[in-house]
């Protein structure tokens, strides 16, 4: 049986309070006493119980992260940023992974998830009003990362602006026939980033005064294969686009594959722009929109700690900017005039 604080107290001939003080480096312990206690701890191979400590303190020294599809590069990157921030503070991180719509729906209802952490970060999951109510009810500081709700602090990325940026980049290159490939809008997980990128795409087209072409928009489940198929559909159109904006790099890969399958050269015959700037994008020389994944994770963690510390910042809805990373898959169309 493991030694407890009382065993140590008895062995050292002191009270439990004193042992606790030694454990917590309280200055109100005389040097001889401290040494006696430390010796007793060593002799008994005493290891304090984190669980008992948590109960007594009422704090778990742990933060939770809820993430869907934990393997997607965008989520891994964000989580990595959170982790970096956490290890600096010595907090533990408990990871909840959501892989099915059922898990998503059950997720916020599960109290013990929230009650076993001091704070929570929710990545990407769409949050409805009802969800926000439940979350606030748990009374656990929670920040949304890459998601948004008026009642909850959030670190979001300017998806609409990014969609606009990507489209404007293609327009600036001289493209007039620009297609969009993205996730379906009715994601059971409530992801809306693809939808917002689409919105930016539409805005840019409208500002440029281009007419609306429904055929140039293809939506499907997230993934390379689906995007591949959607791109093939676009390329088989009577009047195919000269450029495709994919709502994620993963989907852009599918587009590149489709172009390859159709023997189209990129960027000569088809320009492609992705979104995310995942690690492999640089290798593939993929023009894309860089979003600060690591940094957004860090900022989410920082914001959460500010909330935990009791002095929350003025602004709790942060929108991070994105930028175009010009690489080799986007160029002026061959038929461009001037």
Partner DNA sequence: AACAGAACTGGAACCGGTTCCATCCACGTT
Partner DNA sequence: AACGTGGATGGAACCGGTTCCAGTTCTGTT
- Name the site residues for DNA (rule: CB under 7 A): 1-2, 4-6, 13-21, 23-24, 27-30, 32-34, 46-49, 51-53, 55-58
71 binds, among its own copies, DNA, none (CB under 5 to 8 A by kind): its own copies
| Binding residue count for its own copies, defined by CB under 8 A | 36
Going by C-alpha positions, the residue among 306, 266, 14, 6 that lies closest to residue 143 is 306
Residue that is written with structure tokens 């009270």 in the block: 15
Residues in CB range of 239: below 8 A, 6 or more apart: 177
What does the alpha-carbon distance between residue 72 and residue 77 come to, in Å, rounded to a whole number?
9
Residue that is written with structure tokens 């500002």 in the block: 207
Name the region of 146 (left: φ>0; alpha: ψ -120 to 50; beta: rest): left
What's the longest Cα–Cα distance across the chain?
91
* β-bridge partners, 182: 219
- SS3 letters across 172-222: HCCCCCEEEEEECCCCCCCCCHHHHHHHHHHHHHHHHCCCCCHHHEEEECC
Please list every residue from 75 through 104 that binds its own copies, using CB under 8 A. 76-77, 79-80, 83-84, 87, 92-97, 99, 103
Closer to DNA by Cβ: residue 15 or 188: 15
What does the alpha-carbon distance between residue 293 and residue 76 come to, in Å, rounded to a whole number?
9
338 binds, among DNA, its own copies, none (CB under 5 to 8 A by kind): none
By CB under 8 A, name the one of 10, 54, 262, 327 that touches its own copies.
Answer: 54
Q: Is residue 47 within the footprint of its own copies (CB under 8 A)?
A: yes
Closer to its own copies by Cβ: residue 173 or 266: 266
Contact 267, 273 (CB under 8 A): no
Contact 180, 231 (CB under 8 A): no
Closer to its own copies by Cβ: residue 278 or 330: 278
Closer to DNA by Cβ: residue 57 or 130: 57
By CB under 8 A, name the one of 42, 55, 237, 336 that touches its own copies.
Answer: 55
Helix (H, G, I), strand (E, B), or coil: what is residue 32?
helix
What number of other Cβ atoms are within 10 A of residue 73's Cβ?
Answer: 17
84 binds, among DNA, its own copies, none (CB under 5 to 8 A by kind): its own copies
83 binds, among its own copies, DNA, none (CB under 5 to 8 A by kind): its own copies
133 binds, among DNA, its own copies, none (CB under 5 to 8 A by kind): none
* β-bridge partners, 120: 64, 142
User: Which span sits near its own copies by CB under 8 A: 73-81, 126-134, 188-196, 314-322?
Assistant: 73-81
By CB under 8 A, name the one of 257, 269, 306, 323 that touches its own copies.
Answer: 257
What does the alpha-carbon distance between residue 159 and residue 291 come to, in Å, rounded to a whole number?
9
Q: What tokens were used for 76? A: 């891994």
Residues in CB range of 332: below 8 A, 6 or more apart: 173, 174, 175
Q: Is residue 295 within the footprint of its own copies (CB under 8 A)?
A: no
Q: Is residue 25 within the footprint of its own copies (CB under 8 A)?
A: no
233 binds, among DNA, its own copies, none (CB under 5 to 8 A by kind): none
Least Å from the CB of residue 110 to DNA: 16
Name the site residues for its own copies (rule: CB under 8 A): 47-52, 54-55, 60, 62, 70-71, 76-77, 79-80, 83-84, 87, 92-97, 99, 103, 111-112, 115-116, 224, 253, 257, 280, 283
């Amino acid at each position: 049986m493991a030694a407890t604080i009382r065993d140590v107290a008895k062995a050292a001939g002191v009270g439990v309070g004193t042992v606790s003080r030694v454990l917590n480096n309280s200055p109100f312990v005389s040097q001889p006493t401290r040494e006696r206690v430390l010796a007793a701890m060593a002799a008994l191979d005493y290891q304090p119980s984190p669980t008992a400590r948590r109960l007594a303190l009422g704090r778990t020294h742990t933060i939770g992260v809820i993430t869907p599809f934990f393997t997607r590069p965008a989520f891994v990157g964000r989580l990595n940023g959170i982790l970096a921030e956490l290890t600096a503070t010595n907090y533990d991180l408990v990871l909840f992974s959501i892989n099915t719509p059922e898990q998503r729906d059950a997720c916020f209802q599960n109290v013990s998830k929230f009650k076993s952490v001091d704070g929570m970060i929710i990545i990407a999951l769409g949050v409805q009003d009802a969800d926000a109510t439940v979350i606030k009810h748990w009374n656990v500081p929670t920040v949304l990362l890459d998601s948004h709700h008026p009642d909850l602090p959030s670190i979001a990325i300017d998806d609409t602006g990014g969609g606009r940026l990507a489209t404007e980049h293609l327009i600036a290159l001289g493209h007039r026939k620009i297609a969009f490939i993205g996730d379906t809008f009715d994601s059971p997980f409530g992801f809306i980033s693809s939808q917002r990128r689409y919105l930016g795409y539409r805005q840019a087209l409208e500002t440029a005064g281009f007419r609306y072409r429904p055929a140039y928009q293809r939506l499907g489940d997230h993934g390379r294969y689906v995007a591949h198929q959607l791109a093939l559909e676009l390329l088989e159109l009577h009047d195919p686009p000269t450029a495709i904006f994919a709502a994620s790099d993963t989907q852009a890969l599918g587009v590149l594959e489709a172009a390859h399958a159709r023997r189209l050269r990129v960027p000569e015959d088809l320009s492609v722009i992705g979104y995310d700037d995942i690690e492999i994008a640089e290798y593939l020389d993929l023009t894309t929109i860089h979003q600060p994944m690591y940094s957004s994770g860090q900022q989410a963690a920082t914001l959460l700690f500010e909330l935990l510390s009791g002095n929350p910042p003025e602004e709790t809805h942060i929108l991070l900017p994105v930028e175009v990373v010009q690489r080799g898959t986007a160029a002026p169309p061959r038929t461009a005039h001037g």
